[in-house]
Amino acid sequence: MTILVRIQIIQTQIPMSDVLKPAILPGFFTLFVILTSFCFGQTVYGAATYEDYRSKGDRNLKIIERLYFKYPLASSKRKIAFNLLNNWNSILLQYPEADRNERKRLYGDLKQEYVNSNTLLRDISIELAGLFEQTYNILAKQMIDIELSTTEFSDAQSRLRIAKQEFHRAETGYRNRQFYYSSHLFDRAITMLLNIYNSLQWKLPEPVRGVIL
**Range from 8-17, 51-60, 70-79, 94-103 carrying the lowest mean pLDDT:** 8-17
**Whether pLDDT at 12 is above 60:** no
Residue 19 has pLDDT above 70, yes or no: no
Is the dihedral angle over the CA atoms 134, 136, 139, 140 positive or is it negative? negative
Inform me whether the pLDDT recorded for 22 exceeds 80: no
Please tell me the distance from the alpha carbon of residue 73 to that of residue 56, in angstroms, as a whole number: 23
Residue 46 confidence (pLDDT) above 80: no
The C-alpha angle 66, 68, 71, rounded to 5 degrees, equals 100
Specify the 3-state DSSP secondary structure of 208. Answer: helix
Those residues with Cβ within 8 angstroms of residue 151's Cβ, 6 or more apart along the chain or in another chain: none
Task: DSSP for 7-18, please give it.
Answer: ------SSPPPT
Residue 208 contacts residue 135 (beta carbons within 8 Å):
yes
Position 24 scores a pLDDT of 38
Distances (CA, A) of 41 to 6, 32, 36, 87: 21, 14, 8, 33
Question: What Å distances lie between residue 71 and 39, 98, 109, CA to CA?
Answer: 46, 37, 28
Q: How many residues does the chain have?
A: 213
pLDDT digits (tens, 9 = 90+) for 139-178: 999 999 999 999 999 999 999 999 999 999 999 999 999 9
Kindly list the domain boundaries of the chain, sorted by start residue.
Answer: 50-208
Residue 91 contacts by C-beta under 8 Å, 6 or more apart in sequence?
106, 109, 110, 113
What is the predicted pLDDT for the residue at 43? 36
- Mean pLDDT, residues 36-65: 75
| Residue 20 banded pLDDT, cuts 50, 70, 90 | very low
pLDDT tens for each residue of 170-208: 999 999 999 999 999 999 999 999 999 999 999 999 999
Q: At 1, is the pLDDT very low, low, confident or very high (cuts 50, 70, 90)? A: very low
Return the pLDDT at 8: 38
68-122 pLDDT, tens digit per residue, is 999 999 999 999 999 999 999 999 999 999 999 999 999 999 999 999 999 999 9
Alpha carbon 203 to its chain centroid, in Å, reads 33
Residue 2: predicted pLDDT: 40
Distances (CA, A) of 124 to 10, 94, 135: 56, 29, 16
Q: Which of 96, 93, 113, 105 is nearest to 53 (CA)?
A: 113
Report if pTM > 0.85: no
List strand residue ranges (DSSP E) for the chain, in order.
Answer: none
Of 125, 122, 121, residue with least CA distance to 133: 125
pLDDT at residue number 151: 95
